């Protein structure tokens, strides 16, 4: 069994990554168009060939090419393979396609409960007050579940909306036990949930929930499977994209058993457009990511962040990334120059490589590379030409994708959504019952009021045989009316004079 994967060549010789250290995470960085996706594809197919499962987000659709092969390789690929003496062996990697929206892959879902208040708050871009309301909502749901009440089941956005409505209508009672919940916070959250639903995210929340075992299944031929998350549409909702991948990382960390350092990892996780995870992220979330990255390696999982600049990654997280692939950076601004210096300082020195200089001169498909050796020490930085992939470079046709999806019988389990009774149905039924009870009470009160009015009418009527009461005329004569107007005019004049004296307003001259 191979102990390394070869990904390119440098003046020092063939460059490889030790499988035993692949769970020490990594970074693929570089400006747009410098070859990051090809590097990701090469590493993914080499990991799969070595029996390691891979999960990768496909932002632009071109990573899907790993599932197909070219009848004839592109000219640039043939030329590079000859230059570094690493011939292309046309071969498609075993691949499974997933898609939150269920369009370009098998549906992948999770429940509101599993996502939790912190990540839901991030998806909804909630303020501190709104996050507090979400925390109370989830705590109330948890308490209901402990009591055996299914109204605590938060499976989809309808359930979350129903629970928020319940909080709003019972804010006073809930506030006494859990804390203050303002109507403004609930109303704002309801609007954000509606907006999220209009963006199509309702397809992501629900059942059947994605089973993490799908990512860890082994193949009979000993190869690993590349799980491709179609993300062209998902990345247009950056917070949902980052929250989903962070949820997946967290679930792996919480569910997988400790295995320590094995000969090779169980799974390698590629997080493309990684800057989206950390943009505007609160400190608590960054601390959570650092914790997951630091500890998940002991579960046999390696995480590789793909982004434009190393400065996109917070330093506590960056310090955990042992295997580095740095493509070209362009230093057009002071900020860019700072990023170049930061990248150069992160490599183990090599007397033959001026990192700060060469990092700006790298050609497409070249990278400055430093990986961990068998003992866990970083290798000296080397200017490396990345080998071309054995699989197709670029997106595959929709028909090819659909053929692969039909062939994957395991993925078809997720095709049909399940809508079992949960918070939405139970709280809705409870609200209907309460509304009907209130309507009956109002109807009863109206009948009693009408009966009382009829009784008063009967008791105030004429007695039998008695004379009708004489009506008093309310009409006034012309003289009386004229006298009233004169008196009213005199009174108004007196009032005006008094107010002018009090407020100091001058008399209007005629």
Give the per-residue pLDDT at 441: 84
Give the per-residue pLDDT at 436: 83
Place of tokens 């705590």: 139
Give the per-residue pLDDT at 505: 41
Could you give the 3-state DSSP secondary structure of residue 207? strand
Place of tokens 């999960």: 55
What is the mean pLDDT of the segment spanning 179-197? 93
What is the mean pLDDT of the segment spanning 243-269? 91
What is the mean pLDDT of the segment spanning 268-277? 92
Spatial separation of the C-alpha atoms in residues 315 and 27, rounded to whole Å = 13
Spatial separation of the C-alpha atoms in residues 98 and 239, rounded to whole Å = 19
Domains of the chain (ranges; CATH) run 4-109+207-396 (3.40.50.300), 112-203+421-434 (no CATH)
What is the mean pLDDT of the segment spanning 260-271? 93
Q: Which of 121, 120, 116, 135 is nearest to 174 (CA)?
A: 135
Sign, CA torsion 400/403/409/411: positive
How large is the C-alpha radius of gyration of the chain?
A: 36
Q: Which range among 27-36, 285-294, 304-313, 462-471 shows the weakest confidence by mean pLDDT?
A: 462-471
Q: Dump pLDDT digits (tens) for 393-408.
A: 999 999 999 999 999 8
What is the mean pLDDT of the segment spanning 326-337? 84
The Cα angle at residue 193 between residues 252 and 136, in degrees rounded to 5? 70
Asked if 39 and 316 count as a contact pair (C-beta separation under 8 A), the reply is: no
Give the per-residue pLDDT at 492: 54
Give the per-residue pLDDT at 13: 94
Q: Which two tokens stand for residue 353?
A: 């490589």
pLDDT at 495 over 60: no
DSSP label of 418? B
This prediction's pTM: 0.82
Spatial separation of the C-alpha atoms in residues 212 and 253, rounded to whole Å = 11
pLDDT band at 461 (very low <50, low <70, confident <90, very high): low
Q: Which two tokens stand for residue 423?
A: 């918070």
DSSP label of 54? E
Looking only at Cα atoms, what is the longest distance across the chain? 127
Query: Ramachandran region of residue 114, left (φ > 0), alpha (ψ -120 to 50) or beta?
Result: alpha
Give the per-residue pLDDT at 1: 63
């Amino acid at each position: 069994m191979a102990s390394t994967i070869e990904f390119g060549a440098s003046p020092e010789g063939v460059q490889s990554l030790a499988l035993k250290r692949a769970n020490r995470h990594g970074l693929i960085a570089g400006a747009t168009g410098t070859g990051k996706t090809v590097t990701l594809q090469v590493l993914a197919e080499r990991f799969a060939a070595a029996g390691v499962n891979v999960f990768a987000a496909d932002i632009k659709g071109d990573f899907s090419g790993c599932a197909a092969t070219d009848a004839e390789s592109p000219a640039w690929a043939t030329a590079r393979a000859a230059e570094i003496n690493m011939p292309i062996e046309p071969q498609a990697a075993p691949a499974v396609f997933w898609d939150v929206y269920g369009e370009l892959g098998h549906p992948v879902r999770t429940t509101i409960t599993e996502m939790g208040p912190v990540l839901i708050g991030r998806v909804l871009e909630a303020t501190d007050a709104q996050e507090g309301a979400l925390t109370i909502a989830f705590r109330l749901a948890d308490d209901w579940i402990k009591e055996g009440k299914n109204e605590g089941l938060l499976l989809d956005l309808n359930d979350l909306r129903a629970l928020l409505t319940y909080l709003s209508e019972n804010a006073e009672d809930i506030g006494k036990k859990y804390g203050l919940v303002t109507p403004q916070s609930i109303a704002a959250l309801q609007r954000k949930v509606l907006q999220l639903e209009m963006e199509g995210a309702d397809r992501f929340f629900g059942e059947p929930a994605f089973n993490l075992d799908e990512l860890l299944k082994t193949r009979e031929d000993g190869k690993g499977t590349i799980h491709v998350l179609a993300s062209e549409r998902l990345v247009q909702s950056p917070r949902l994209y980052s929250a989903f991948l962070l949820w997946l990382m967290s679930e792996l960390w919480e569910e997988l058993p400790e295995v320590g350092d094995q000969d090779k990892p169980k799974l390698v996780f590629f997080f493309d457009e990684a800057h989206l995870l950390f943009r505007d992220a609160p400190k608590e979330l960054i601390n959570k990511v650092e914790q997951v990255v630091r500890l998940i390696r002991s579960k046999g999982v390696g995480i590789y962040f793909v982004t434009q600049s190393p400065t996109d990654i917070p330093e506590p997280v960056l310090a955990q990334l042992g295997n580095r692939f740095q493509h070209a950076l362009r230093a057009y601004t002071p900020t860019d120059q700072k990023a170049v210096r930061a990248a150069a300082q992160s490599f183990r020195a090599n007397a033959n490589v001026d990192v700060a200089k060469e990092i700006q001169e790298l050609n497409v498909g070249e990278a400055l590379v430093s990986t961990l050796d068998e003992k866990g020490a970083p290798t000296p930085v080397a200017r490396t030409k990345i080998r071309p992939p054995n699989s197709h470079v670029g997106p595959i046709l929709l028909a090819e994708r659909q053929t692969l999806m039909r062939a994957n019988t395991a993925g078809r389990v997720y095709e049909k959504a399940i809508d079992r009774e949960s918070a939405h149905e139970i709280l809705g039924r409870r609200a209907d019952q309460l509304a009907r009870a209130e309507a009956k009470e109002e109807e009863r009160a109206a009948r009693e009021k009408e009966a009382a009015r009829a009784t008063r009418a009967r008791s105030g009527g004429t007695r039998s045989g008695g004379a009708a009461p004489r009506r008093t005329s309310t009409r006034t004569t012309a003289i009386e009316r004229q006298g009233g107007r004169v008196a009213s005019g005199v009174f108004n004049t007196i009032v005006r004079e008094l107010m002018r004296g009090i407020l100091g307003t001058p008399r209007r001259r005629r």
